Structure 1
Amino acid sequence: MSIGTEWDGPQVPVAGDGSQAATFALASAAYRDNGVEDIKKADNDWHQSTVKEGKIALFKPNLGEAFSRAVADRMIGPDRKPLIQSFGIEPQVVVEHCLAANNIRRARDNRLTTVMVLCGLLFLPGLLVWLLVFQLRTTMAKRDDKRMSTLGTALLLAVGVVAVIFLLRMPFTGFWALYARGAVVAPVLGWFLAKRICENTAKDLRGRWDGLLSGTSVGAKVPEAVPSSPGETAAEALRQSLAKLSAEQQSNSVFYAGPKGILGMGTRWGSWQLAEDLRPADPDREIHPFRSWDVIRAVHDQLALLERGPLNTGGFPKPSIRHWIVTPIGENAKAVSRPEGADVEAFQFRPHAIQEICNKQQFGSGNRHYLGVQWTLWDSQLVITMLITVTVLHQTLRIEVTGHALGPVHSLFTSKPEAPTKSVAKTFKPWESRKIKLPLVNSDEVVRLAVRAPITWYPPALNWLGGSLGLPEPFGLRHAWADQPWRHRFMADDALRAATPVLRVVHSAAIRVLEENGVDVEKFGARAGFLSTNVQDASPKKADLYDA
């Protein structure tokens, strides 16, 4: 995405681009107002989020507040650790929406802070009494016993009655009488002003949430990412952080974490291996020397033709074909380390380094080379990756094809906002009920937002008081909250169907190279035919869980 002098957010893509459905689903989390604990519903077996509890429940963030802050800090923060690529989505777009959501809330909090100073801080005794009542009510409402919730509401009403009596029978005179009346009335007046502010912001946030999931054009306005003068170091640092995020997303280095598979690509569900001895076709002549890279290059060229077919029946869309360098890490590793040195530039292994790893690092420790063919399907909700590696040990050449599938983002991120409603009995027909609309922001939420507002300028204190969201590590936006594709019949079919043509293309290209270099391919052909038959009954398995 190009950034011009008048840029105020991502222009392409915006909502409405069907191929970015997963991107906008994740971005919509920045605008949500449901409970932060809901993020636990989206966790999968391998990656778990943590909700860190704060000291005071009144300062607790909702999902959108916690998500947008956590994602922005993790992905473009000054001390961020390396990220896992998010295949099938644009992580920069998600981060920009998180920044835009933070800006909207910051503007709201600035107005709420003004209200708190004028109607709260100047009348601090009254404010503290009202806050104590709301804190007690919130604590009671969290209990499973409904009677405690009713008792909390009764407490609030009782304090209101006492406040009215206090106003009517004031025990003070002169200045203190006026101040005491102000201490009772001003926080209530501030609550009404704060409610208007919160309602308007809630409508804006919910409109963006719904727009991202409905396909309307919703762009993220992040004007602070565009330096308007050479002296704006903060804007320049943010621009560079976003550029670094995009560069890391394009890295050809990935990480294998045991049973978790290759991070970002999903677990390995299938594996097919062709391994035979290299024997000369003519006993009187030796095999013409060749390397693994020669076979891989031929396979690469042949895979580029996968979208072509003898019949005009649709078939494969154009795949992404890349050379990957896979680094092994521990199954429970909490961080990864991006490779550095002369062989790496802008998170990319240079071509000569890829070729050297392909030819030489085939046994023992070190990185490994894989050729990958990848499809992003179902409006970016399904990512199918087939990886091919070629090794030669002594006289045995082995060609291995493995299947990886990353499913759709969790349904939590695809749910649209629903207007709050309440069922009540009809006036003249009490045996029937009707639904009435409730305000977008209830009384407790207004108090929570108003109390948090003056502290939002210093996030560490706010996190300590109210808690925060801990993201699963090693963190990548897509794989952290991805479901298995096997729950969706057609997605599963697409993943399984891709295996057979890829396997046959790989084998035919490899056998052609062997023939050209004087290798007897009879056993290779027989073995390839057997695998070709076997792969027709492909079914997903936990290929990274060895029964040993």
Structure 2
Amino acid sequence: MTDGFDFLSPGAQIPLSGVDGQTGATQALASAAYRDSPLEALSAADEGMSAIKEPKVKLLRANLGEAFARAVQNRMLGAGRNELVQSFGAEPQTVVEHCLAANRIRQERDGKLTAVMAVFGLLFLPGMLIWLGAFQLRAVVRKSEGSRAGLLGSVVLIVVGFFAVLFVLNPPLTGFWSQYLRVMMVAPVLGWFWAKRICEQTAKDLRERWAGLVSGSGVGAKIPEAVPRNPNQTRAETLRQNLAKLSAEQQSNVVFYAGPKGVLGMGARWGAWRMAEELTPREGLSEIHPFRSWDVIKMIHGRLRDLQRGPLHTGGFPKPLIQHWVVSHVGAGAKKISRPTGSDVDGYTVRDFEIQRICNEQQFDKGNRHYLGVQFVVWDGQLVITMMVSVTVLASTLRIEVTGHVLGPVHSLFTTAPEAKEKEIAHPVKFWETKKVQLPLVASDEVVRLAARAPLTRFPRILDHLGGKIVLPEPFGLRHSWASAPWTNRFMADDALRAATPVLRAVHSAAIAVMEENGVDVTKFTNRSQFLSTSVQDASPSEADVY
């Protein structure tokens, strides 16, 4: 294979769901695949970044779960897809697996509904078209604003029902066609009752999975179609390879800086602290001992590994993820990203020797840059705190920069549990009181919508065109596309601000230690470090990427 991945290893594996510390955000995103909410609810979750294509036929409109699961599956597993932004704090493979599982559940339901449509609808096509036309007109009318819209929509069905009764009692024809006209208007209604049972069974299953994921019970995604049982199952093998490629891309050490948007997948840069002083020899030395940026980075790397340790037994930092990042620049309005290729890249990962070369030599002019990142994934994956460190030497000036990035929790839309379908009505006797009554899990209009969509399930592009779809924001990454600001949560904001000070001090102490070992006068660096140690304790974040 030219992409550097080994997809020919023996034995198919079922992908595992969930990673320690990241299950909260992952399961919240995965729950969207099972939801039956209106599609328009997604616009509020990403501030309109996702474009919603309105349905051409109101009766065939898609809901949130249907559109989300299909859009994510196509974007992340489709042929010829663009590169994806890593989803820090979440496992995109798990989310995609749940989208596949949700689509499979719906396909099984649609297969049964198609059979019902064939028996009770196709054989009595004129009657079915009349009823579908009535529901389509009702859907168009209900889209209008005003209290009369719902009443007018109900009147439409009453009129059609009235004519159906007339056809049954007094058909205008005689003989065989007289009996056909009688059955023609009644058969679709009988089919509706059978379809309602099928829809309610599936709706109950989908809602249980939705509730389980939101509550954190760890509902697994069943996707047997991703496990090839013999060498001839090319479709299953292709799906398995795409899932493996998705996992490999998630492990890439290349990230993208998009101007004011910050590092894609890590969030905007909220703070920056710089120490830039001249390299002069210590008193008594004529010159300093030569060293490189990589020597400083190695020492900093070692100090950052010790952030968990402290003189007091009071908890503190969880285990951080320390990673050497190759940062590539893309414009703030870029619609896609492109990862580096060549002999210096293994799959999606830049090799170690190339990282060292970039760190030592690529510090000015065009090209990628090197950053050392320390990342804390906390709050069950809902908060991702990343501190990025860069070391550059230009002329005789050593510059050490520490920047803070933070990615907030996924939007509250993804953490809401399914609500019971009920309605508040006036008490029949005690009119001054109200009571709640349970509504059917699947409404009448919903049964008709699902039954009308079912035969088109095998033609997904036609269904997307007629029923509407989601166009995901680009460059696309599951986690950052629907992240909200962490500053509205007091404790999350505190965690992000508190993480900066120990990281900054560890970086400065490591850099000063390297300079002392190589005969550098560190007086100016020490003074600057103390000043920055004071300024980093500022109580509020700044907008470092807004100039």
Fold shared by both chains (TM-score > 0.5)? yes
Deviation at 1:305, TM superposition (A): 0.4
Answer yes or no: is 1:220 the counterpart of 2:221. yes
SS at the partner of 1:506? Answer: helix
Who is 2:132 aligned against? 131
SS at the partner of 1:114? Answer: helix
Write out aligned runs for 1:411-490 (5 A): 411-490=412-491
Is the contact made by 1:304 and 1:321 (CA closer than 8 Å) also made in structure 2?
yes
In structure 2, C-alpha distance between the alignment counterparts of 1:284 and 1:388, rounded to whole Å: 30
CA separation of 1:214 and 1:423: change in aligned 2, threshold 3 A: same
Any idea what the Cα deviations from partners look like across 1:298-322, whole Å, max 9, x if unmatched? Answer: 0001100000000000011110000
In structure 2, C-alpha distance between the alignment counterparts of 1:376 and 1:423, rounded to whole Å: 43
SS at the partner of 2:458? Answer: coil
Is the contact made by 2:17 and 2:221 (CA closer than 8 Å) also made in structure 1?
no
CA separation of 1:6 and 1:236: change in aligned 2, threshold 3 A: closer
Deviation at 1:283, TM superposition (A): 5.2
Deviation at 1:18, TM superposition (A): 6.3
Counterpart amino acid of residue 237 in structure 2: E
Is the contact made by 1:388 and 1:402 (CA closer than 8 Å) also made in structure 2?
yes
Answer yes or no: is 1:178 the counterpart of 2:179. yes
Is the contact made by 2:393 and 2:399 (CA closer than 8 Å) also made in structure 1?
yes
- RMSD (Å) for aligned C-alpha atoms: 1.5
Is the contact made by 1:252 and 1:347 (CA closer than 8 Å) also made in structure 2?
yes
Identity %: 63
Counterpart amino acid of residue 410 in structure 1: H
In structure 2, C-alpha distance between the alignment counterparts of 1:417 and 1:6, rounded to whole Å: 35
Deviation at 1:6, TM superposition (A): 8.2
Is the contact made by 2:425 and 2:434 (CA closer than 8 Å) also made in structure 1?
yes
Counterpart amino acid of residue 434 in structure 1: K
Is the contact made by 2:269 and 2:403 (CA closer than 8 Å) also made in structure 1?
yes
Who is 1:83 aligned against? 84
Is the contact made by 1:5 and 1:228 (CA closer than 8 Å) also made in structure 2?
no
Answer yes or no: is 1:34 the counterpart of 2:37. yes
SS at the partner of 1:536? Answer: coil
Is the contact made by 1:265 and 1:479 (CA closer than 8 Å) also made in structure 2?
yes
TM-score by length of structure 1 reads 0.96
In structure 1, C-alpha distance between the alignment counterparts of 2:164 and 2:256, rounded to whole Å: 63
Who is 2:27 aligned against? 24
**How many residue pairs get matched?**
540
Counterpart amino acid of residue 21 in structure 1: G
Deviation at 1:534, TM superposition (A): 1.4
Is the contact made by 2:285 and 2:519 (CA closer than 8 Å) also made in structure 1?
no
Who is 1:271 aligned against? 272
SS at the partner of 2:340? Answer: coil
Task: Single out whichever of 177-186 and 27-36 deviates more from structure 2.
Answer: 177-186
Answer yes or no: is 1:504 the counterpart of 2:505. yes
CA separation of 1:367 and 1:5: change in aligned 2, threshold 3 A: closer
Who is 1:399 aligned against? 400
In structure 2, C-alpha distance between the alignment counterparts of 1:362 and 1:217, rounded to whole Å: 45
SS at the partner of 1:537? Answer: coil
Deviation at 1:12, TM superposition (A): 4.3
Deviation at 1:359, TM superposition (A): 0.5
In structure 2, C-alpha distance between the alignment counterparts of 1:529 and 1:433, rounded to whole Å: 66
Answer yes or no: is 1:13 the counterpart of 2:18. yes
In structure 1, C-alpha distance between the alignment counterparts of 2:26 and 2:489, rounded to whole Å: 20
Who is 1:94 aligned against? 95
Who is 1:154 aligned against? 155
Answer yes or no: is 1:310 the counterpart of 2:324. no
Is the contact made by 2:12 and 2:228 (CA closer than 8 Å) also made in structure 1?
no
SS at the partner of 2:239? Answer: helix
Is the contact made by 1:33 and 1:62 (CA closer than 8 Å) also made in structure 2?
yes
Deviation at 1:4, TM superposition (A): 9.6
Task: Single out whichever of 426-435 and 95-104 deviates more from structure 2.
Answer: 426-435
Counterpart amino acid of residue 230 in structure 1: P
Who is 1:494 aligned against? 495
Who is 2:4 aligned against? none
Deviation at 1:10, TM superposition (A): 4.5
